[in-house]
Amino acid sequence: MAVPSAKPGPRPTRRAFLGLLAVGGAGLASATYARYLEPDWLDVAEVTLDPLRFPAPRGLRILHLSDLHFGPHVPLALIERAVTLGLAQRPDLIALTGDFVTGRLRETAAYAAVLRRLAAVAPTFACLGNHDAIVAAGPVGEVARTAAVVRLLREARADVLINETREVAVRGGRIRVSGLGDLWTGQNHPARCLTPTRGPGREPLAHMLLNHNPDARLAAMPYHWDLMLCGHTHGGQLGVPGVAEWLAPVSDKSHIEGLRERSGRLIHITRGVGSLYGVRLFCRPQVSLLVVG
Ligand SMILES: [Fe+2]
């Protein structure tokens, strides 16, 4: 019986081989950039706040830092550079909106020394994020993690607000600052520190609300506040339309970074300083400055 001879397949051409090489090279270059260059390349973003929406003293400068994520993928040196860049913007007031660590808190004294530079310049307020409580050990571990981060922030002279409100003198006027507990860790209780709106009208002072997860906006809407500062999304970390929204860990995908007005209130989401897994692509780490226009 005659054995059918195997038909030789088409031979790869030199052009196809070079094409594959180019695609592979571009992929490797993108991966190297996303892992080793962009996560370290801080961006300073300034936005103007409408004084009709946030009636604070004109010219007030608010530094907004979030998601520092000090841990295996985010060195303290990056956080220190973000602090230096932030202070160079001459802030009157500083807001830190959670996720100070990834994993176990370490080098507490050195970390506190870096953050203390902020409070040495301007009143500094902080709320906590989900990473400031999450730990595999369960409820006991969560309490320990939260306590450790709160201790770190107090050592850094930051005022930690967990469903609490303060009044602060800034730039010749006064404003209210509140901070909510984190949504995912079940500590988000706006009723404990905010006044219900119950019809039209406004509080006498501009009111800034620190709230790690922007999804908690809905629960906060029935209460008085003018400007909400959030983090949590990291801008999606991979800034490709569609992918960024998919990756951002929020239910409301319509707003994952920047300033937006929603139902007459201002909401600002910063991309944050650190990252998870040390990867960012077209979504640079951010130092945000908000200026009352
Ligand atoms: Fe985060």
What's the pLDDT score for residue 133?
Answer: 82
Kindly give the distance from the C-alpha atom of residue 12 to the centroid of ligand 1, in angstroms, as a whole number.
46
What's the pLDDT score for residue 7?
Answer: 58
Rounded to whole angstroms, the Cα distance separating 240 from 164 reads 37
Q: Please compute the mean of the pLDDT values over residues 257-275 and round it to a whole number.
A: 96
Residue 168 predicted with pLDDT over 70:
yes
Kindly give the distance from the C-alpha atom of residue 221 to the centroid of ligand 1, in angstroms, as a whole number.
23
Kindly give the distance from the C-alpha atom of residue 288 to the centroid of ligand 1, in angstroms, as a whole number.
15
| Annotated domain spans of the chain | 19-292
Residue 165 predicted with pLDDT over 60:
yes
Kindly give the distance from the C-alpha atom of residue 284 to the centroid of ligand 1, in angstroms, as a whole number.
14
Q: Which tens digits make up the pLDDT trace of 190-243? A: 999 999 997 666 788 999 999 999 999 999 999 999 999 999 999 999 999 999
What's the pLDDT score for residue 192?
Answer: 96
Rounded to whole angstroms, the Cα distance separating 93 from 167 reads 12
Kindly give the distance from the C-alpha atom of residue 120 to the centroid of ligand 1, in angstroms, as a whole number.
25
DSSP letter for 107, please: -
Mean pLDDT lowest among 133-147, 224-238, 244-258:
133-147
Kindly give the distance from the C-alpha atom of residue 195 to the centroid of ligand 1, in angstroms, as a whole number.
28
What's the pLDDT score for residue 94?
Answer: 98
Kindly give the distance from the C-alpha atom of residue 244 to the centroid of ligand 1, in angstroms, as a whole number.
14
Helix (H) or strand (E) holding 210: strand 207-210
CATH number for the segment(s) 19-292: 3.60.21
Kindly give the distance from the C-alpha atom of residue 160 to the centroid of ligand 1, in angstroms, as a whole number.
17
What's the pLDDT score for residue 198?
Answer: 79
Rounded to whole angstroms, the Cα distance separating 229 from 211 reads 6
Cα–chain center distance at 53: 22
Q: pLDDT: is 98 or 23 the higher one?
A: 98
What's the pLDDT score for residue 134?
Answer: 66
Kindly give the distance from the C-alpha atom of residue 259 to the centroid of ligand 1, in angstroms, as a whole number.
18
Q: Beta-carbon neighbour count of residue 246 at 10 Å?
A: 10
Q: Does the model's pTM come out above 0.85?
A: yes
Kindly give the distance from the C-alpha atom of residue 131 to the centroid of ligand 1, in angstroms, as a whole number.
7
What's the pLDDT score for residue 136?
Answer: 42
Kindly give the distance from the C-alpha atom of residue 5 to the centroid of ligand 1, in angstroms, as a whole number.
61
Residue 183 predicted with pLDDT over 50:
yes
Kindly give the distance from the C-alpha atom of residue 265 to the centroid of ligand 1, in angstroms, as a whole number.
23
pLDDT tier for residue 90 given thresholds of 50, 70 and 90? very high
Q: Which tens digits make up the pLDDT trace of 16-66? A: 766 666 667 777 888 888 888 889 999 999 999 999 999 999 999 999 999
Edge-first strand order for the sheet with 265-269 is: 164-170, 173-179, 207-210, 227-230, 265-269, 258-262
pLDDT tier for residue 137 given thresholds of 50, 70 and 90? very low
What's the pLDDT score for residue 13?
Answer: 76
Rounded to whole angstroms, the Cα distance separating 229 from 251 reads 17
pLDDT tier for residue 2 given thresholds of 50, 70 and 90? very low
Residues 143-167 as b/e (b if ≥16 CB within 10 A, e otherwise) read eebbebbbebbeebebbbbbbbbee
Residues 236/283, Cβ–Cβ less than 8 Å:
yes
Q: What is the mean pLDDT of the chain?
A: 91
Residue 3 predicted with pLDDT over 60:
no
Q: What DSSP string runs through 211-223?
A: -S-GGGHHHHTTB
What's the pLDDT score for residue 145?
Answer: 79
Sole residue written with tokens 């009636």: 55
Q: Please compute the mean of the pLDDT values over residues 260-279 and round it to a whole number.
A: 95
What's the pLDDT score for residue 10?
Answer: 60
Q: Which tens digits make up the pLDDT trace of 99-118? A: 999 988 999 999 999 999 99
Residue 290 predicted with pLDDT over 50:
yes
Rounded to whole angstroms, the Cα distance separating 134 from 140 reads 11
Kindly give the distance from the C-alpha atom of residue 28 to the centroid of ligand 1, in angstroms, as a whole number.
26
Kindly give the distance from the C-alpha atom of residue 270 to the centroid of ligand 1, in angstroms, as a whole number.
11
Kindly give the distance from the C-alpha atom of residue 233 to the centroid of ligand 1, in angstroms, as a whole number.
7
